[in-house]
Amino acid sequence: MTIARGALVVLLALAAPAVARADGDAARGRALAEKDCNGCHVRQFGSVERIYLREDRRVRTPAQLQAQVAYCNTQLGTGYFPDEEAHIAAWLDQQYYRFPR
């Protein structure tokens, strides 16, 4: 997937209804995030939590979270399938975002 296509995925999700929700397994998502996501966040932001806990974060809905995970998957070239992206989104929602159900 190209960068432009990844950006399109994010833009489409930003326009999606806010009720979209990750159906993933948070425990599996945690393992994937620890394996591939955390290192990138530490390199870019100095800590894993900083990107999620900052006041000006971009992600404000479950749909935006899923789109951001898909975008990061593309940027890192991890090759995750959509169900694995859903696992990561479920973990991030449980751990940091806590979107209302």
Chain segment 55-88, per-residue pLDDT in tens: 888 899 999 999 999 999 999 999 999 999 999 9
Q: 64: which 2 tokens? A: 């935006």
State the pTM of this model. 0.78
Whether pLDDT at 30 is above 50 = yes
Burial of 30 (0-12, 13-18, 19+ CB in 10 A): middle
**Whole-number Å distance between alpha carbons of 31 and 58:** 24
How many domains does the structure of the chain reveal?
Answer: 1
Query: What is the rounded average pLDDT for all residues in the chain?
Result: 85
Report which of residues 5 and 91 the model is more confident about: 91
One-letter identity of residue 19: V
What is the CB-side half-sphere exposure of residue 22 using CA atoms within 13 A?
Answer: 31
Q: What is the pLDDT of residue 55?
A: 87
The residue segments making up the domain with residue 32 are 3-97
Task: Give percent of the chain above pLDDT 70.
Answer: 78
